[in-house]
Amino acid sequence: MPKSSSMKVVTDLRSALSLSEEHHDLIRIKDPMDVNLELVGEYLKHAGGSPVPQPTRVGPIVLFENVVRGGAAKKIPYNMPVVVGVVASRERVARYFGVTKEKIPFKMLDALQHPIAPKKVNNGSSQEVVVDREINLTKQLPIPTMSLDSVGPSITEGLLRGIDPETGQGDVTFHRIFVVGRDRITALMFRGRHIKEMQRKAELKNRSFPVSINIGLDPFTNISAGIFPPTGADLDELSVAGALKGSPIEVVKCRSIDAEALANAEIVLECEIQPNETLSEDVLSDKKGWSMPEMAGYVGVAGSAQVLKVKAITHRKNPIFQTLVTPGEEHNLITGIPCEGEILNAAYRTGYKDLLTNVYLSSAGGGKLLAILQIKKRSARDDTEPRNLALIALATMHEMKSVILVDDDVNIWDPMDLWWAFTTRFKPTEDLVVIDGARSWPGLADYIQTTKAIYDCTVPWNERERMRRPRWLGYPS
């Protein structure tokens, strides 16, 4: 008989949590934890991962069952648990996807190639309870202040759902959100991001733009939402999520605004993005100029953010508040896994299906800035092809800075194996390709390299016999 867990279908956050708990990949913290700083500090003792400095590591999901506010003297309970790290390890994502972790990029590729459109339904569990008066966000929801370098309480895993007013195209995107009032939040929305471009169309007519912010996501929607421009202007990420899930993601009409919400979310904020109204993210803080720790491992600078008015909150009965800690493995994977699928897709379209055997968007680059491409050369003619592949990867993710090329005898997920290839197979005078003056990640433009580079650590075809790895009796090779 198969174990019952192997029969379990993941359809929403709750089923993802119970599958993870069955696999001893979830821990519960029963001690009271204050949403202000204490909860995230505790999380990082159990899980989190690079680029947060050690002793954090990639670890289990952490479910905080007793979340409070008001400091040690008050400890006012929320009656709502907070879960962190639902998609914060590759092993966990592989379990949700039903594949080995080496196959994750190929599962993503398959979903990109065979999307399943979202389905409109009349009722969603995300609307079991509706709160449309006396909204007071930080009292009603356990919204954490993440770090000593954060300017306030932030929603880091709130997924915006918008519909283009002209084309009807749907989109989901994560944006950095801070609470700035009882029913007011800010969202940092750069030009080029899809919902920002939709909102601009309304803004040019001086109209507000309705969006839902969905909290408590199924892992397929959570990962697919990491699809990043330039890919996907005409792609509803929910259709990729549907393909990963194997059935359509369901959406439901919002109660107070003309927008859609995810039917399976735990909590939905129904919001209107105000036209031509922005606030600096540090508006309420004395940490002027800063916002919060960001994906590359540094403290982000305060941006000029859109102002949103929250018209209603809907939620399930006994909702679970989900959050993500930045930087860390969860952010790395949400950004990196879609990009791995995109790079495979681009490589296959350009004739490199046999040459590229796997791809990893390294956690060292926040799942965005550093790609490792694994290559299988077939002849001496393939000695120069890998660098073309690297250029394709750099063009697929505009913000990418570095590509490392290795042969297929290198474990691309093992940093020490990568260092070994770099040390023994990389000759800087011949194997370094520098691309200057190309767009990279603007957030670090002033103080970290903006030049892109390809590090070709593959062995020349004619050297492959001399550079082969040794073999041992009874040892896998």
Instruction: List the alpha helices (DSSP H) in 371-475.
Output: 385-396, 415-425, 428-431
The region of 63-71, 170-178, 306-314, 363-371 touching Mn ion under the rule CB under 5 A is 170-178
214 strand-pairing partners: 159, 268
The region of 210-218, 230-238, 394-402, 411-419 touching Mn ion under the rule CB under 5 A is 230-238
In the bound complex, what is the minimum distance in angstroms from residue 237's beta carbon to Mn ion?
5
Please say which residue, 171 or 340, places its beta carbon nearer to Mn ion: 171
Read off the tokens for 32: 């009271």
Instruction: List the alpha helices (DSSP H) in 355-396.
Output: 385-396
The region of 100-108, 125-133, 164-172, 203-211 touching Mn ion under the rule CB under 5 A is 164-172
CB 375 within 8 A of CB 408: yes
Among 12, 34, 38, 171, binds Mn ion (CB under 5 A): 171
Read off the tokens for 287: 């940490």
Nearest to 214, CA basis, from 322, 307, 295: 322
What is the number of the residue whose Cβ is closest to Mn ion?
194
The three-point CA angle 315-321-323 to 5° equals 135
CA 233, 238, 244, 248 torsion: positive or negative? negative
In the bound complex, what is the minimum distance in angstroms from residue 235's beta carbon to Mn ion?
6
Please say which residue, 230 or 351, places its beta carbon nearer to Mn ion: 230
In the bound complex, what is the minimum distance in angstroms from residue 401's beta carbon to Mn ion?
23
The region of 189-197, 211-219, 249-257, 393-401 touching Mn ion under the rule CB under 5 A is 189-197
Specify the pairing of strand 356-361 against strand 432-435.
Answer: unpaired
Q: Which of residues 363-422 bind Mn ion (CB under 5 A)?
A: none
| DSSP run (H or E) holding 422 | helix 415-425
Tokens 């569990």 locate to 125
Please say which residue, 217 or 356, places its beta carbon nearer to Mn ion: 217
How many residues belong to the site for Mn ion (CB under 5 A)? 3
Which entry of 157, 237, 260, 294 is annotated as an active-site residue?
Answer: 294
In the bound complex, what is the minimum distance in angstroms from residue 200's beta carbon to Mn ion?
14
Please say which residue, 150 or 396, places its beta carbon nearer to Mn ion: 396
The region of 48-56, 163-171, 213-221, 293-301 touching Mn ion under the rule CB under 5 A is 163-171
- Asked if 232 interacts with Mn ion (CB under 5 A), we say yes
In the bound complex, what is the minimum distance in angstroms from residue 361's beta carbon to Mn ion?
18
Please say which residue, 231 or 323, places its beta carbon nearer to Mn ion: 231
CB 271 within 8 A of CB 211: yes
Please say which residue, 48 or 232, places its beta carbon nearer to Mn ion: 232
How many angstroms separate the CA atoms of 243 and 289, rounded? 41
Determine phi and psi for 12, rounding to 5 degrees: -160, -175
How many angstroms separate the CA atoms of 75 and 320, rounded? 19
Q: Which of residues 330-359 bind Mn ion (CB under 5 A)?
A: none
Per-residue x/- track, 122-161, Mn ion (CB under 5 A) = ----------------------------------------
In the bound complex, what is the minimum distance in angstroms from residue 163's beta carbon to Mn ion?
12
Residues 6+ apart with CB under 8 A from 277: 306, 307
In the bound complex, what is the minimum distance in angstroms from residue 107's beta carbon to Mn ion?
20
Would you tell me how many other CB atoms lie within 10 Å of the CB of residue 436?
8
CB 240 within 8 A of CB 283: no
In the bound complex, what is the minimum distance in angstroms from residue 230's beta carbon to Mn ion?
11
236 strand-pairing partners: none
- Asked if 194 interacts with Mn ion (CB under 5 A), we say yes
Please say which residue, 22 or 164, places its beta carbon nearer to Mn ion: 164
The region of 30-38, 98-106, 136-144, 167-175 touching Mn ion under the rule CB under 5 A is 167-175
Residue 182 CA to chain centroid, in angstroms?
A: 27
Read off the tokens for 244: 């990963």
Read off the tokens for 255: 């109660």
Per-residue x/- track, 427-446, Mn ion (CB under 5 A) = --------------------
Residues 6+ apart with CB under 8 A from 378: 354, 355
237 is catalytic: no
Please say which residue, 227 or 404, places its beta carbon nearer to Mn ion: 227
- Return residues touching Mn ion (CB under 5 A): 171, 194, 232
> Annotated active-site positions, please?
294
